[in-house]
Amino acid sequence: MKKYSLLVVVFLAFSSFESFGQTYEKIYETSSAEIQDRINQNKIFGVEILSGIQTHHVIGLSGLGDTQKNTLLNTLGNDSSIMSFVLSEDKTSITIDSKATFTKEKFQDIIQPMNVVITGYTAEYSIYEQ
């Protein structure tokens, strides 16, 4: 039983590293030279790789009703990786400024129980001072 428990813990640890690695690589590959330099500096100085990098998300939405709107806004407001967000008046798009660790996949996890669909997505990365 101990071996099984240890195996599960090790598997979960490696799968979370792989997920973060994929996020980091995607950001690195699609970013400007300035963002890539910041990531390289973070690695050299031994700080969190995505430290000081911000993502500006523009997300198209479909199916967001008033009940889901309140739930979404409360959830985003309580997320420490979200810096700011603005929902359009017609509830068809949301703009989110976040730390780079907040991804499209995390947003999908938030809206999945609400039966809301993403109709468009763009992300731009920039540097911010903490």
Domain spanning 2-127: CATH 2.40.37.20: no
pLDDT of the residue at 16: 45
Rounded Cα distance between 68 and 85, Å, is 16
Q: What is d(CA 72, CA 99) in angstroms, rounded to the nearest whole number? A: 18
**Helix, strand and coil percent figures for the chain, each rounded to 5:** 50, 25, 25
Indicate the average pLDDT of the chain.
86
Residue with tokens 């599960």: 8
Min mean pLDDT across 11-20, 29-38, 58-67 is at 11-20
pLDDT tens for 84-102 read 999 999 999 999 999 999 9
Q: Is the pLDDT of residue 37 over 80?
A: yes
**Averaged pLDDT for residues 125-130:** 86
Higher pLDDT, 8 or 111: 111
Q: What is the mean pLDDT of the segment spanning 54-83?
A: 96
The pTM of this model reads 0.81
